[in-house]
Structures are given as structure tokens and as C-alpha cells.
């Protein structure tokens, strides 16, 4: 349990560090970006938003761990490690994986039909990444189990 | 797979929450096990058997499905 708490603190610390870097990059970048570079400014805004989001989630998790009673935290930990909850989560992830494969496939065709070659290739690329990550994960777990 | 979990729990006068806390699982897991919606892992089946002081096969009844 102590080890789990330590790893959670490490994750929160990493979230804050990545968040601060992303936020600083976004905020400083926007100030030095040319006036007419709208796409670049939007990208920097996304970095700033992503960074602030990460920091906010890390702060929320930290405050929750301090404010919520130890009994409730213990119950939360039980819920997180509960084998049925893990099975439910895995089944839901398998379904969402199937949905995303279908979505990327439809998107690739739709974008190509609209003449948007690059976004269509990106969708096809994402499908390949999914497929190969599945093959690698399958091979790893096949050896492990 | 059928089981006698609810029957055994009622015999001992244990609430679902208490059994869940003793086994460090959620109450929903106990409820799903009792309803036969979820089959436990070997580890949880053994922990349940130890909790009731019985063998696993005394709690869980496996019936071969007809194909």
C-alpha cells in the first residue's frame, strides 16, 4: 500500500512537471509568436491548455488525498484493485478499441473521398500503429502467460 | 457456474459489505458473484473458501455445458 502511495505521488509529481513545461512552452511561445501565425498560436494554446489541465488534475488528486478520510481512501483503493472492476474496465477497453478501429477506417475512407489525403494517411497510420501495438502486446502476453 | 455464496453468507449472518471488506473486494463483486453474473478468479475463490472454512468445490458448482 505504501509502495502504491509512493508511485501515485511520483505520477502526480510527473504530471506537475510535464504540465509546467507544457504550460510555459505555450504561454512563452504565444507571446513571441508572429501576429499572423494563427495555426501556430492555436497549437501553443493547446500546449498551454494541456499543461494547465495536467496541473489542475494533479492538484485535485493531491487535495483529495489530504481531505478525504483514510477509510474512504482505503475503500477507493479496494475499488481500484477489485478484480471485477478490472475485468469490467478491460472489457470496456476492448469494445472501445474495436470502435476506434472502425472509426479510423471510416474516417480514412471519408477523408480520402473528401480529397483530404494527408489526414486520411494519418488515419491509416494510426490504424497501423494500433495493429502493430496489438501484435507486440499479444506476443509479450503470450510469452508471459 | 452456480454457487452457494448467498446461502452460506445468510447462514452465517454476514452482510455483503462485511464479506466484501473481509475479502478486500467491492460489494458489487459479492453481489455479482451471488447472482452468477461474474465468475471469480482462482485466488478469490480460494479466499472465499478459506473465509467460510470450506473447499472451493463446496461453494462453487461447476456443471458441464451441453453443446
Give the pLDDT means over successive 10-residue stretches in chain B (67 positions). 93 95 95 94 96 94 74
ipTM over 0.95: no
Cβ atoms < 10 Å from Cβ of A45: 15
Strand positions, DSSP E, chain A = none
Residue A105 predicted with pLDDT over 90:
yes
B41 touches A: beta carbon within 8 Å: yes
* CA dihedral sign, ordered A124, A125, A128, A130: negative
**pTM confidence score:** 0.74
* Cβ contact B25–A87 (<8 Å): no
Taking contacts as CB-CB distances below 8 angstroms, the residues of chain B near A79 are: 26
**What residue of B is the nearest CA neighbor of A88?**
B38
Amino acid at each position: 500500500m505504501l509502495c502504491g502511495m509512493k508511485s501515485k505521488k511520483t505520477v502526480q509529481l510527473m504530471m506537475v512537471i510535464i504540465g509546467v513545461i507544457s504550460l510555459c512552452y505555450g504561454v512563452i511561445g504565444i507571446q513571441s509568436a508572429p501576429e499572423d501565425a494563427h495555426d501556430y498560436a492555436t497549437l501553443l494554446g493547446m500546449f498551454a491548455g494541456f499543461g494547465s489541465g495536467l496541473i489542475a488534475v494533479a492538484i485535485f488528486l493531491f487535495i483529495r488525498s489530504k481531505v478525504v478520510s483514510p477509510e474512504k481512501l482505503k475503500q477507493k483503493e479496494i475499488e481500484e484493485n477489485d478484480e471485477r472492476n478490472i475485468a469490467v474496465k478491460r472489457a470496456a477497453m476492448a469494445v472501445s478499441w474495436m470502435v476506434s478501429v472502425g472509426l479510423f477506417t471510416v474516417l480514412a475512407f471519408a477523408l480520402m473521398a473528401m480529397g483530404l489525403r494527408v489526414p486520411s494517411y494519418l488515419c491509416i497510420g494510426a490504424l497501423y500503429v494500433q495493429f502493430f501495438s496489438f501484435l507486440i502486446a499479444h506476443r509479450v502476453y503470450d510469452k508471459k502467460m | 457456474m452456480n454457487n452457494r455464496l448467498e446461502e452460506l453468507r445468510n447462514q452465517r449472518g454476514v452482510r455483503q459489505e462485511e464479506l466484501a471488506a473481509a475479502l478486500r473486494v467491492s460489494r458489487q463483486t459479492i453481489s455479482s458473484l451471488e447472482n452468477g453474473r461474474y465468475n471469480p478468479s482462482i485466488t478469490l475463490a480460494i479466499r472465499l473458501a478459506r473465509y467460510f472454512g470450506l473447499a472451493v468445490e463446496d461453494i462453487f458448482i461447476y456443471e458441464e455445458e451441453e453443446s
